[in-house]
Amino acid sequence: MSENIPFPRMTGTGFTPEWFENVNVNTPAAERRAATLTTRRTVKKDWQVAWLARAITCIDLTTLSGDDTAGRVQRLCAKARRPLRADLMEALGLDRLTVGAVCVYPTMVPHAVKALEGSGIPVASVATGFPAGLTPLPLRLAEIRYAVDQGAAEIDIVITRELALTGNWAALYDEIRQMREACGAAHMKAILATGDLGPLTNVWRASMVAMQAGADFIKTSTGKEEVNATLPVSLTMLRALRDFHKFTGQFVGFKPAGGLKTAKDAMAWQILMKEELGTGWLMPDLFRIGASSLLGDIERQIEHHVTGRYSAANRHALA
């Protein structure tokens, strides 16, 4: 989130199990609703390009590979500063366009901070033993503090899935609350790893617990699970988010991640956000897309709109 947001930062609440313990998600209904979203609403031509440009501003441009280097991060940051080619920017009448954030491992944070200096683009860091989250809690908290000390403005934490799978919601709340305290002024995105949580009811309850514990965003996936972001899962999380806002008046963001690779995906999730939460949630302060390859296809689709021709995907390198 930016510092000039028009609403206070999330504070969370006390642990309130009555908000979620008796809730059961109707999975077939959620799947039917998700399946009809993109068939009931279509966005074409200039409007579609405007939506794709908006999607770019919400991307957390990400590299989370074992062979990450300072050079790769610097190239990624250069793309974050200028996500579209100059000729496409001119054709669209845009003066400035940047992504929502750059997301890296903690040791890569200093390289990203230096490369993004003066751009206003925040650096996000994964932490807490990403992606499994199975290191001891003191080490996970220390990793958060390390990333913040290195300059990360946002921290993407992972939860202990066992606590959700066994229904130990009070322990999950306590764990996330400690992570939020370790983040300090940095905003916290709670990765629920929904592909590991089983039924949608578990997803709904984990979402509510994470928000009660003070998560600024709830995020679907690490991108490393067998099943990552899906529309039914996202719909379930947004319904929990909407209920939390109704209970508390607090604004919580949403971040789908993993498996979003095409401009069509970007459109589908924006339609979901608009249908469920309204246009006001379609801003980088409340909506992010975790992606590494999505930007290339968006740029390719925008070029097709401008020139009338499709170019090869390799002409739109990530960095």
Task: Give the residue numbers marked as catalytic.
Answer: 156, 219, 255
The contacts of residue 123 (CB under 8 Å, 6+ apart) are 101, 102, 103, 104, 109, 112, 113, 116, 151, 152, 153, 154
Q: What angle do CA 194, 196, 197 make, to 5 degrees?
A: 65
Tokens of 161: 């899935």
Residue 137 to residue 21: CA distance in whole angstroms: 25
Query: Long-range pairs for 14-17 at CB < 8 Å and ≥24 separation?
Result: 14/212, 15/169, 15/170, 15/173, 15/174, 15/209, 15/212, 15/213, 16/212, 17/169, 17/170
